Structure 1
Amino acid sequence: MKLRIPSGCSKNDKDTIVDKVKGLIFGAIIGDSLGLATEGMTKSEINHVYGDGPIRFGMEDTEGVPFLRDHYRASFDENDFGGDAEQQLLVLQSIIQNEAFNYKEYAKLLREYSQHGIQGLEKKPIGINKTSQVVVAHPEFQNDPRKAAVEVWLTTNKLRGASGALVRAALLGVPKFWDGTTVIENTTDCCRITHPDPRCMISCVIVSTLVARILRGQDLENEDNDDQNITIVHKNALPVSLTLPPTPTDTHRMSSSKQPSQQKQQQQQKQQTLMNSSNMTPPPSSPTSSCYTSSSSSSYHLETDITLMKIVRSVIETNKRILTAPNTDPLFTTPETNIEQTQHYYQQLVETCSYFEDGPVDFGFLQLDSLVTEEQRHGSFKCLSAGLYSFTRHLPAGQETDYFKHILMDLVMQGGEADTNATVAGALLGVRMGYSHLPSEWVVGLKRWEWLEDQVDAFCDLF
């Protein structure tokens, strides 16, 4: 078996590695599924529909405001997942079939998926990102997917810098996670067949490399944090009293259902009003001064985990030549030949993704729902920064599950490309925490949960 884990390649034992891999996959699927609630919405629209939240998700007895069932969201079943999770599942199926990742085999599956959906799922491919749609429909894609992707990139400027490839990146950090070169090669190969933009490529490599390092477990020891290159101001965390929910493998107890309160009924009436006024796919994002503030956000004060922040900066530094010296390494070939432009991208990356402060969990500073011009557009960096901000929060021991829920809920309440952002953040939090710490009511509440379990177990059996 090509994916068998060699002895001594990780400080984690096999059971821990499997738990983390399952956490990655289910964390990503949960993120995509929850993110569908606000995909394409602005903060003002979200506030009108969901108020301060939370959004109801998972088991039937979970409290919260129900999903808006407008024209776009009515295409999905309750607790269903969309194209971002399905692209990850395609990577998983490709690896199972070949016992390794091969971008040509993945391209074949992606093309079949775009027409018929995932094999065995009996579900139409709803929600596949626009860039992938255009590339897969290109007449050259079947014979040469890389060429097709480059031609689309060169001729369709508005699709540059999109974040769609990032949803596949985390899982590509798993095969041969002990071999950094293989991880980067697999990641860049997979990115190039749909998103050859150098910003997408380095974003994907950062995510997959972080996953590989977490699985190796060799960077997570307590280090001397007196590092002049890491300037993070710590603040006193507010006291929080939380109860750890059961893990996904525990026995689940169904509580009696409750009648919706007057406030929930009013929220449902607001949803119906918005549904009646919008029968289109997710509305385009636009600037808004409205800001979502969770009623409990002040109770979720999280410091930056300095060890994880060091790892993030190390990964960015190691792979910066994708942008600072493009096309000097066969692994990092891109269609962008303007060195000044790629160096500008590098500055954007550093400014966006490597400086996070302590404080209440709040993604507002990223302005994830803002509409920006084509010249400014770098959605992959925004998506990456949302994932890295989530990943680098210090999670109090014993409270990981509750913080996972709050972080993802706060993220999707930002709107914009909510499902993509939450897919990446869910994957990074999932591989860090492990499947055993994911919220059971969210995992078991997923549509097709049993089918997903079978797929993930088949993948983990390769180890």
Structure 2
Amino acid sequence: MSTLATATIRDRIKGCLLGNAIGDAYGLATEFMTTRVAKELYGNGPIAFGTDPGYPVYEDHHRPIADRNDFTDDTDQMLVMLQSLHQSRDGILHPINFALRLAEWERRGIVEIGADPGRGLGFTVGSVLSHREFFDNPHRAAFEVWDMAGRDLAPNGAVMRTAVAGVERFWDEPRVVENAMAAAKITHADPRSVVSALISSVLISRFLRGGGSNVTEDQGRVWNPRLAQAEYQQELLSYLERGTNLQGDSTLDPPYNETPESRFKPKNYDMIEHQRLQREAAAGGTYRDQFKDHQWTDWNKDRPKVTLRADIGWVGIDNVGEDDAAGSLARSVVADYKFLLQQTHVVPPSQHGQRVQDQWTAELESMCFPQSMSQLRLGASESIGYTFKCIGIGYYGATRKQDPSPTAPEYGGGEGLFRGLMEQVTIEGGDADTNCAVMGSLLGARLGFQGGIPENWWRNLQHLDWLSETIDSYTNRVLADYETCTQTQ
């Protein structure tokens, strides 16, 4: 169970899920830019967000002013997973239900906030959603898409949405692991993508159980006692093979164990749309309404000249150092689950006689615990969406110390660490919204909401009221399940 008080767990869950959305919204400022272009536009920051000053977000068709302070498909898909779990209410991520929820999102968007259908849909997820087998056998559909592409694609679409898998049944690590794998595999068959989602979810769950504060106590805990059983490890390795053709029919058509409660139930679109319009009318309109007459000729008008700050306000991501307890906890997660990469048979053909599994394992460890952020090459255009970059910067950022003596007060404490990390990672460009979403969820689970996320940022997030209500309702159910489990043990 957790060593934390229930109120603290609640605060960390909110920090985790809102941290995902805020990181996603902040990182949009440089998504798909090279590092060079991002620095030409923003120097070394800060980038304006919420009501905080800074360089205004560069406006183009990908990031119009109406999308300012709004999250993207990364958080959309996390919310789709949350809604799937919240429907079945049994703590289990049911792949068919989640698959149909994703398809619903592709057609209708997040209806509750009027978000565009399938906004930002990536190539891999889009290909799997259109596969003939997707609605009945999503794991097989994902494998066949990966197989047809040469078994070489390991994008970050599974890890970007996985925060909620670390929250659901956070006290039950075997369940967290299976939920993360089930959710990842409905669109991503590459073990690197699946393991990235898994270790992100597990680290969140261990933060919620009180890990990351005391090295000695953490090292004395058995986080998942089943890992000591060889048969359990084999079960997880076999789960990676489900939906593949590695063992013929026995893996091509895995059982999904649906229940009456888990069967997909479509939303009442008309009712939700009516409620949304009423809510917007009562609020006097939406953020977007004020920009309905905004023309392209106004884009980037009077944009300030970029000058580099001599002092960025804190020591910086590469100099602040690793927090001993958070770093030790993160290393324990990788150590516990790297066997999935080392021993899996779900691999592309090996080249030059070297086992690709060994390459993957070494790369995961080096990217999660790099010597510096530059080692991750976040803005390299040929590989911006690689899953190990995303989980790597997430782990690197989430294990940094708080600067004890920043030169600007806004970089002090947990909020200051969150602010500084978001700025520096975003200015690297690449798949910045996804990188910051994953890092934001991990930081939120470690630092919490109050005192962990800058208030000027979360108060000005678009759709905050609905998002907060959704997160609170979900958290109430998770914590009620947790209290029931603690009383029966």
With structure 2 as the length reference, what TM-score do the two structures score?
0.73
Q: AA paired with 1:171? A: V
- Aligned position for 1:56: 48
Instruction: List aligned pairs for 1:288-327, cutoff 5 A.
Output: 295-296=311-312, 299-300=315-316, 301-327=319-345
Q: AA paired with 1:14? A: T
Instruction: Answer whether contact 1:20 1:435 (CA < 8 A) is retained.
Output: yes
- Aligned position for 1:237: none
1:316-336 C-alpha deviation (Å, 9 max, x unpaired): 111112111115xxxxxx465
Matched, 1:155 2:173: no
Q: Give the alignment partner of residue 96 of structure 1, picking from 86, 95, 104.
A: 86
Instruction: Answer whether contact 2:211 2:218 (CA < 8 A) is retained.
Output: no
Distance 1:411 1:293, change over 3 A: farther
- Aligned position for 2:67: 77
- Aligned position for 1:205: 198
Distance 1:298 1:197, change over 3 A: same
Distance 1:111 1:293, change over 3 A: farther
Instruction: Answer whether contact 2:394 2:439 (CA < 8 A) is retained.
Output: yes
Matched, 1:129 2:122: yes
CA apart distance, 1:51 = 2.5
- Aligned position for 2:109: 117
Counterpart Cα distance in 1 of 2:337 and 2:199? 8
Counterpart Cα distance in 1 of 2:62 and 2:181? 32
Normalized per residue, which structure has more helix? Answer: 2
Q: Which 10-residue stretch deviates more, 161-170 or 183-192?
A: 161-170
Distance 1:424 1:176, change over 3 A: same
State the secondary structure of the residue aligned to 1:187: helix
Sequence identity (%): 32
- Aligned position for 1:216: 209
| RMSD, aligned α-carbons | 2.6
Distance 1:177 1:392, change over 3 A: same
- Aligned position for 1:108: 100
CA apart distance, 1:172 = 0.5
Q: AA paired with 1:411? A: V
Q: AA paired with 1:134? A: S
Q: Give the alignment partner of residue 364 of structure 1, picking from 344, 352, 374.
A: 374
Q: Give the alignment partner of residue 388 of structure 1, picking from 392, 395, 399.
A: 395
Q: Which 10-residue stretch deviates more, 307-316 or 70-79?
A: 70-79
CA apart distance, 1:156 = 1.9
Instruction: Answer whether contact 2:379 2:428 (CA < 8 A) is retained.
Output: yes
Counterpart Cα distance in 1 of 2:309 and 2:193? 30
- Aligned position for 1:164: 157
Matched, 1:456 2:449: no
Q: AA paired with 2:164? A: L
Distance 1:40 1:30, change over 3 A: same
Counterpart Cα distance in 2 of 1:136 and 1:203? 21
Distance 1:109 1:272, change over 3 A: farther
Instruction: List aligned pairs for 1:330-369, cutoff 5 A.
Output: 334=346, 340-356=355-371, 363-369=373-379
CA apart distance, 1:355 = 4.2
Distance 1:170 1:356, change over 3 A: farther
Distance 1:21 1:411, change over 3 A: same
Q: Which 10-residue stretch deviates more, 383-392 or 124-133?
A: 124-133
CA apart distance, 1:200 = 0.8
Q: AA paired with 1:424? A: V
Instruction: List aligned pairs for 1:438-457, cutoff 5 A.
Output: 438-457=453-472
Distance 1:144 1:356, change over 3 A: same
- Aligned position for 1:25: 17
Counterpart Cα distance in 1 of 2:212 and 2:454? 26
Q: Give the alignment partner of residue 146 of structure 1, picking from 139, 148, 155.
A: 139
Gaps of 5+ in 2: 220-298, 405-411, 480-489
State the secondary structure of the residue aligned to 2:120: coil
- Aligned position for 1:429: 443
Instruction: Answer whether contact 2:24 2:75 (CA < 8 A) is retained.
Output: yes
Counterpart Cα distance in 2 of 1:180 and 1:322? 16
Counterpart Cα distance in 2 of 1:225 and 1:82? 35
With structure 1 as the length reference, what TM-score do the two structures score?
0.77
Counterpart Cα distance in 1 of 2:370 and 2:63? 35
Instruction: Answer whether contact 1:32 1:84 (CA < 8 A) is retained.
Output: yes
Instruction: List aligned pairs for 1:174-213, cutoff 5 A.
Output: 174-213=167-206
Counterpart Cα distance in 2 of 1:459 and 1:114? 22
Distance 1:418 1:145, change over 3 A: same
1:159-193 C-alpha deviation (Å, 9 max, x unpaired): 71101110122220111112111111000000100
Distance 1:159 1:459, change over 3 A: farther
- Aligned position for 1:4: none
Instruction: Answer whether contact 1:336 1:342 (CA < 8 A) is retained.
Output: no
Counterpart Cα distance in 2 of 1:299 and 1:29? 26
Instruction: List aligned pairs for 1:262-281, cutoff 5 A.
Output: 268=300
Q: AA paired with 2:391? A: L
Counterpart Cα distance in 1 of 2:458 and 2:192? 32
Distance 1:272 1:401, change over 3 A: closer
Instruction: Answer whether contact 1:149 1:193 (CA < 8 A) is retained.
Output: yes
Q: AA paired with 1:425? A: M
CA apart distance, 1:364 = 2.9
1:329-386 C-alpha deviation (Å, 9 max, x unpaired): xxxxx465759112211111122223446xxxxx33321011347xxx8811111110
- Aligned position for 1:410: 424
Counterpart Cα distance in 1 of 2:304 and 2:151? 33
Q: AA paired with 2:166? A: G
